[in-house]
Homo-oligomer: A and B are copies of this chain.
Amino acid sequence: MAAALSVEEKKKRKRALILQAAVKLFSENGFAETPIAAIAKEAGVSFGTVFTYFETKETLFHSAILEPLEEIKPYFYEIEERYSGNPMEIISEMIHCHVELFSKRKDFLRLIQQVLARPDRYPDLFQELDDFVTVFIDRIVPLIIQGQKRGLFYQESPPLIAQSYLSLINGMRLTFVDEYTNLFWMDMRIQALRLFGPVSNGEGTKR
């Protein structure tokens, strides 16, 4: 009874295949060292087809960054909607979620790092990521202030706390490439939590 895929759906699927291949290969080999031909091969489409869906290699790179970025935004933007409990618990849940996200999206993280490492090369993309950081900070600062008022968090500048957190999770993917045992990531979460406030024993791991 499975209805035949509509033409429109087939096209979407093909586009997604190419984008997926692009994310994989760009992240592994970098923008400049990834030939379009390799992406086509990985996606199982012909060379020319890539250009049917993406005007230029640059466009494809942009899409490979921005579309997954959209997907992860909710996990950074909708903090109080998504996570529950007192501020410390909310942050703890958030970290849990982010670490899981990042441990699973190795390839996408690497793409991000390529852009961050060369702002002049990718000004538009860099701007997008910068905006992403700005919005995240805007959203999390009230929560940090709330936690500070309750004596749960350090009396540090809230944006600084937020940025140190971003630095840590960003740097994690760089430093530990393949050795992510569950245990490792779980413990890392405690360290992340410590950038916000004092952690009583075992607190970071309760979920």
Among A45-53, A58-66, A191-199, which stretch is in contact with chain B? A191-199
Tell me if B32 and A156 are in contact (CB < 8 A): no
Within 8 A of B (CB), among A169-207: 169-172, 174-177, 184, 187-188, 190-192, 194-195, 198-199, 201
Distance from A170 Cβ to chain B, minimum over Cβ atoms (Å): 4
Number of interface residues of A (CB under 8 A): 45
Contacts of A116 on B, CB cut-off 8 Å? 174-175, 177
Q: Are A119 and B32 in contact (CB under 8 A)?
A: no
Cα distance A33–B120 in the bound complex, in angstroms: 13
Q: Choose the segment among A36-44, A88-96, A141-149, A160-168 that binds chain B (4+ C-beta atoms closer than 8 Å).
A: A160-168
Do residues B164 and A174 form an inter-chain contact, with CB atoms below 8 A? no
Q: Return chain B residues, CB-CB under 8 Å to A187.
A: 156-157, 160
Residues of B contacting A156 in the complex (Cβ-Cβ under 8 angstroms): 187, 190-191
